[in-house]
Structure 1
């Protein structure tokens, strides 16, 4: 790997983590106003418009018509898995358990990718890999199982919300592997367009099947919800996803995944400052342990 490519890939990964941290807060608030299903379609449509404008300016092509058929296949599949399945689960988790716990559970995405590589590609984890996974799971469990109702009592996070966040992590892990298979040397933002096309199509089918178009129109009329959705769209499917593809293209996937998984740590000061959410020392320690576990898991090849 050329030395010059390392800083750009690592910076892109940190940029993706920062964007996802901010977008998760915006999407949590938007989802509680307009619903997770409506939000997913609206934010992907906005993201696609932004990506189209950017690609038109950068590449002279508003649409990814120069992508190879194999790239279309892998990236469309990645979009269905990552956006339709993964993000629908994640956004519902945002509503049920909030951004902080959801993003903490999402730190499982890199270990899940490692397990998939072990199962599908016969890549052994080794003792260090197993230790990294155990550390990550321990940090996440330490926070998720914390109980606190503000009155000296004890209450667990909503199990269904935690389960949905886990499904979101699975979707992201599989989507990341599929994206790398399809993208190779192709432009990351044009690759994002293909993934978003799949996401939009998937949500159009789902919304039509459940007859949700009235709720979508209600969401479009909610000015506050639309402002939050637009903010999240810029930071999420536009910049965040684009940066993540730049990262996996220009540096080792493990390094990129480690840096992108810092969202649980980045989100702690944000929820304290913006939502005035009380975050315990246990939550802070658990987040740090989880990310440390991801680092151990992925850096085992360094």
Structure 2
């Protein structure tokens, strides 16, 4: 068993990442509905700094990142702005509008988008199998979000268009952020690399809040005990453990394989969404979720 783990530690890390993101998406959906998605975004990143810094101090003897090159700081910082500030800001608002289950299903587009950005930025080639995988993923998502057409309309969308667009923006941010993370991380350790991304995210949100006057809402959110408990859970499983594991995964296996395994969240989240939030899930939505994940698998296996 130990030998299997050591030889597939990237794949194991990706699987654990998917489990973490299932927990964190449900926790942040609940917290976001209580205190707002923007406040949740900043608070969980601040929590993550203390968690990551403590782990870094135990492992390396320093709290804040050391030893990174200027190039690594630049690319990881850009990745943090793209992934945490832009991508997660849109995703967390999608949690509030359409819920974590549908949002994370649309997030299955992140791996195909990562492949597309890898082609544009890194010069990676897209095969016919890659393109087919993208089509199958989009088809699976379409089965879930599109309902039967009503009279006078050719297409009927079962969920909020605003929420769907927000989740798509989140998927775009995550796909691009993952490519930029791999580009910037190189041989650098995933924990301080994650810290660089998180610090940039905190700075980015701080500037946004200064110009939008959102700070009073953050202070109010901090005083809301029930929301803070959920944010704490989400922060531990999200920007601390989940993101660190995701960077560990792409360090020890290919971005494609890691993205494929991490993309099973839409399937993992169905059961807890039904149990915890009493969501009504149709057979067609379950089938669509499995097809979407199958499309992601096809994207990198073929």
User: Shared fold by TM > 0.5?
Assistant: yes
The structure-2 alpha-carbon separation of the partners of 1:186 and 1:155, relative to structure 1 and needing over 3 Å to count, comes to closer
Residues 136-285 of structure 1 mapped to structure 2, 5 A cutoff: 136-146=137-147, 156-285=158-287
Deviations 1:10-37 (A, max 9, x none): 1100111000011000000000111111
1:81-100 matched pairs, under 5 angstroms: 81-100=82-101
Does the CA contact (< 8 Å) of 1:5 and 1:251 recur in 2?
A: no
Deviations 1:200-240 (A, max 9, x none): 00000001110011100110010001001011000000000
Q: What secondary structure, in the 3-state scheme, does the structure 1 residue paired with 2:250 have?
A: helix
Map 1:46-57 → 2, pairs under 5 A: 46-57=47-58
Taking structure 2 as the reference length, the TM-score comes to: 0.94
Whole-angstrom distance in 2 between the partners of 1:166 and 1:226 = 27
2:108 corresponds to: 107
Q: Distance in 1 between matches of 2:225 and 2:127?
A: 52
Query: How far did residue 252 of structure 1 move?
Result: 1.3
How far, CA to CA, are the matches of 1:77 and 1:252 in structure 2?
21
* 3-12 or 227-236: bigger deviation: 3-12
CA–CA distance in structure 2, aligned partners of residues 119 and 205 of structure 1: 30
The answer to whether the Cα contact below 8 Å between 1:86 and 1:170 also exists between their aligned partners in 2 is yes
Deviations 1:178-219 (A, max 9, x none): 110111111101100000000000000001110011100110
Q: Report the secondary structure of 1:65's partner residue.
A: coil
Q: Check the 8 A contact 2:24/2:238 in 1, yes or no.
A: yes
Structure 1 residue 54: Cα displacement: 0.5
User: How many residue pairs are counted as aligned between the two chains?
Assistant: 294
**Is residue 6–residue 250 contact of structure 1 (8 Å, CA) maintained in 2?**
no
Matched position secondary structure for 1:63:
coil
Q: What is the rounded CA distance, in whole Å, between the counterparts of 1:184 and 1:38 in structure 2?
A: 32
Q: Cα–Cα, structure 1 residues 284 and 262, in superposed 2: closer, same or farther, change >3 Å? A: same
Gaps of 5+ in 2: 149-155
Q: Distance in 2 between matches of 1:126 and 1:243?
A: 28
Q: Corresponding residue for 1:73? A: 74
- Across the aligned residues of Structure 1 and Structure 2, the Cα RMSD in angstroms comes to 1.6
Asked if the contact 1:43–1:229 (Cα under 8 Å) also holds between the matched residues in 2, the reply is yes
TM-score (norm 1): 0.94
For residues 117-164 of structure 1, the C-alpha deviation after alignment (integer angstroms, 9 at most, x for no partner) is 2333443322211111110000011101147xxxxxx87100000000
Moved more, 119-128 or 55-64: 119-128
Distance 1:6 1:107, change over 3 A: farther
Q: Which runs of 5+ in 1 are unaligned?
A: 148-153
Change (3 A) 1:12 1:175: same
Q: Distance in 1 between matches of 2:124 and 2:26?
A: 36
CA contact (8 A) 1:146 1:157 kept: no
